[in-house]
Amino acid sequence: MAQQQNTFLYALSSNNAWAGYKAHQNPTFFPKLASGQSPQILWLGCSDSRCPETTILGLQPGDVFVHRNIANIISPTDINTSAVIEYAVAHLKVKHVVLCGHTSCGGAVASLGDSRVGGVLDTWLTPLKAVRAAHREELDAIKDDAARAVRIAELNVDAGVKVLLANFTIEEAIRDRGLEVHGVIFDIASGRIKDLGLGTKGGSGGEEVVRGRHAQLVFRGGRGEMAVK
């Protein structure tokens, strides 16, 4: 209990130091942040503690609207995800929707096994189990366990992107104002994000820059990387 309390107190102390540093670095940072948000990116990712979107993108608070869940599963019947998508796309008018899977994903590993995880997690991982069943031959041919887990994570992103492209709010925004949908994988071991070439611009080439408060993110079409410059 004492260790848990110390961890929490350290987090509060760290926040205080961070807020002081940011305010000193840019006195207008927090007042501008409090005045409203206009993010250009909706990030749909995994709840894994090693994948904090704003940090790994090199962006700042206010740059990314976020929804994360176990194994970054996109289900058309999940009202939580649907509400986030509708608000970000229809009201905040984001320019990019990014679905991000990652390496070393516990949900991906669990979906490849035949034993139960337990509780509601088995129900939640059902779509990922369905991805496994749909690609069983390909996955079974991969002998390395880590490589197999990465591949099902990629296939999960592919399945999620297809659900996103069928979402009415997203369909409408693509048609009316050129919203872009991207599918990517974050490699925890290298810190790099790889564009899987999925979504609205798969394989088209081209490049677009999303400017944040203190950085810019470059989206490259086709199989490439999203790089912070």
Is 100 annotated as belonging to a binding site?
no
The single-letter DSSP state of residue 90 is I
Identify the active-site residue in 46, 96, 148, 182: 46
Catalytic residue among 48, 63, 158, 195: 48
Instruction: Name the catalytic one among 51, 100, 105, 132.
Output: 105
Q: How far is CA 152 from CA 99, 149, 156, 170, in A?
A: 15, 5, 6, 25
Q: Which of 67, 96, 102, 220 is catalytic?
A: 102
- Respond yes or no: is residue 102 known to be catalytic: yes
Taking alpha carbons only, the member of 186, 167, 9, 36 closest to residue 104 is 186
Determine the Cα–Cα distance for residues 124 and 90; give it in Å rounded to an integer: 27
Q: Which helix (H) or strand (E) holds 187?
A: strand 180-187
> Residue 215: which of 229, 225, 196, 226 has the closest Cα?
229
Q: Is 63 annotated as a binding residue?
A: no
| Cβ partners under 8 Å of residue 228, min gap 6 | 57, 58, 59, 215, 216, 217, 218
Rg (CA), the chain: 19
CA angle 190, 105, 102 (to 5 degrees): 45
Active site residue 50: yes
Catalytic annotation on 105?
yes
96 is catalytic: no
Q: Is 51 annotated as a binding residue?
A: no
Amino acid at 220: R
The residue annotated as part of the active site, out of 50, 192, 211, 213, is 50
46 has binding-site annotation: yes
State the CB neighbour count (10 A cutoff) for residue 140: 11
Instruction: Classify residue 126 as left (phi > 0), alpha (psi -120 to 50) or beta.
Output: alpha
Annotated binding site for Zn(2+): 46, 48, 102, 105
Annotated binding site: 46, 48, 102, 105
Which residues are identified as catalytic?
Answer: 46, 48, 50, 102, 105
